[in-house]
Amino acid sequence: LLCLTPEKTPIRRACISIVEWKPFEIIILLTIFANCVALAVYIPFPEDDSNATNSNLERVEYLFLIIFTVEAFLKVVAYGLLFHPNAYLRNGWNLLDFIIVVVGLFSAILEQATKADGGSAIGGKGAGFDVKALRAFRVLRPLRLVSGVPSLQVVLNSIIKAMVPLLHIALLVLFVIIIYAIIGLELFMGKMHKTCYYLTNGYPDVLVDEESSPCALESNNGRHCPNGTVCRSGWAGPKHGITNFDNFAFAMLTVFQCITMEGGTDVLYWMRDAMGYELPCVYFVSLVIFGSFFVLNLVLGVLSGEFSKEREKAKARGDFQKLREKQQLEEDLKGYLDWITQAEDIDPENEDEDIDEDKPRNMSMPTSETESVNTDNVGSGDLEEESCGVRLAHRISKSKFSRYWRRWNRFCRRKCRAAVKSNVFYWLVIFLVFLNTLTIASEHYNQPEWLTEVQDTANKVLLALFTAEMLLKMYSLGLQAYFVSLFNRFDCFIVCGGILETILVETKFMSPLGISVLRCVRLLRIFKITRYWNSLSNLVASLLNSVRSIASLLLLLFLFIIIFSLLGMQLFGGKFNFDEMPTRRSTFDNFPQA
């Protein structure tokens, strides 16, 4: 196990064949997926209560633990543990798996030991807490299997290698927060503790409302209290006294809130109510411009730069691999040609004798074949000769008609191809797209009946014209050449959707809601203009090319959402039990809400 077992031993070779067997990887992936489903089905209860479903899931956890332990053991035997290249623990993903398995085994042993002592278990939920929370990270393991996908590999390497530049940007952001927090201390300290109170017997008694905002005295700029109320100090401040500039810690928290632009506008309004317009506007506007728009966007610049570098490296690796394969193929071909040349040079005299021996036989072959043919033709009757002449005349006339038809077809296709590529056809399609957009935009609520009829008629006419355009392109270019273009496929989909909508509307086969959904296909006709607008077409092509990278980012985001949702269920599930909560949506009590 510690690189002491030779690699050629039967046990190690068997383990290597098992862990590198494709069905074994599929089984592990399905087990990971089932484990995530089990974690998602688990419902946390208050006070560590449980039910039958949770108890069954706790038993299933032992099965998952056994499978993951066997997987780790087989990989340790196959690859070794640590002390040589390509060992099990030298891979980051394997190290994560090993830690999760060890924590799971430790938790299971501790739980069984506690039960054996007669004491209460560490809790059905508490016993598996560490195991479940860490095992949720096993959903990241499929990322190793998609490392061959260039886009995902580029994204992962870009994020990892961007950590050092991102650390520098984080220090810059911290510096900006500290500077603005110190300025806020000097300008706004203690300004958020005055609000409006009702007067009871001439004394301030009750707040106007719980969601009050700061106020200013009559002699100062800011918000003045309405009649019957008075501005007095003693208020904790907005958000229960958290949002203020009374000390350095709260000032940094408030500045960070403004930089993230989540509630920063409210802080500006509160400070404006307390002091007036001048200083708060200058302070917060400059903070948002410099902190949010400039400094935080440096993160995107760093990620974009690293992504470009990794994409170039991936392209260079691909080109190098292709060049290496080409050179290997050329070397193999050269060796094969050398082998053939050497084989031909072994005995050239025998080769000449073989050629001389075969020559008479080859020269006599046509004579025998001719004689055979003549022998077969002897004895043919006059009737057979006449039928052959009729068939020959029919074939000649048919070939003339075929040549005429092919010539006429080529002529028509050339004319149609020239018409399709002409400027007149270009502007005609643009005009039809404009009319289609105008027809769709003219729809409104409670429109007159005549307008509805005009819109339906216009839609049918435009659909017929777009169908004629599609058929004309198919005829002029040919079906194979037509469907090579991605835009032509998109155009065909739009036209077929419009035809389907018209058929369903006329036959009244679908409900009005379904017909309304199909009518949304008409909106896609607007994108026909991208075919004829080069700059817009290039932009759409760039977006389509970036879909693969975006899909990789969405996959990472989805994994993080699942991981932290499951972790939130383990940490905070069943903890939000307050009588004053009318709707329990922002909780971690189940997987959908988490």
Rounded Cα distance, 191 and 214, in Å: 8
Output the six-digit token pair for 361: 């036989």
**Nearest C-alpha neighbor of 467 from the set 432, 426, 424, 504:** 432
Rounded Cα distance, 239 and 183, in Å: 22
List the helix and strand counts (H, then E) for the chain.
23, 3
From residue 188, alpha-carbon distances to 272, 273, 274, 434, 488 in Å are 11, 12, 9, 56, 62
Rounded Cα distance, 418 and 409, in Å: 14
Output the six-digit token pair for 555: 């996959």
Burial pattern 380-404, b for ≥16 Cβ within 10 A else e, equals eeeeeeeeeeeeeeeeeeeeeeeee
Residue with tokens 């070779």, as numbered in its chain: 13
Backbone φ and ψ of 57, nearest 5°: -65, -35
Q: Which amino acid does the sequence have at 519? A: R
Rounded Cα distance, 109 and 549, in Å: 44
Backbone φ and ψ of 148, nearest 5°: -75, -15
From residue 544, alpha-carbon distances to 154, 486, 523, 537, 541 in Å are 17, 11, 19, 11, 5
SS3 of residue 7 by DSSP: coil
Contacts of 531 (CB under 8 A, 6+ apart): 429, 487, 491, 537
From residue 483, alpha-carbon distances to 121, 470, 490, 499 in Å are 66, 11, 9, 19
Rounded Cα distance, 15 and 577, in Å: 51
Rounded Cα distance, 80 and 6, in Å: 10
Helix-, strand-, coil-residue percentages of the chain, each rounded to 5: 75, 5, 25
Helix (H) or strand (E) holding 232: strand 229-233
262 known member of a binding site:
yes
SS3 of residue 122 by DSSP: coil
Q: What angle do CA 490, 495, 497 make, to 5 degrees?
A: 95
Rounded Cα distance, 512 and 504, in Å: 10
Backbone φ and ψ of 581, nearest 5°: -90, 105
DSSP letter at 291 equals I
Annotated binding site: 262
Enumerate the known binding-site residues for Ca(2+). Answer: 262
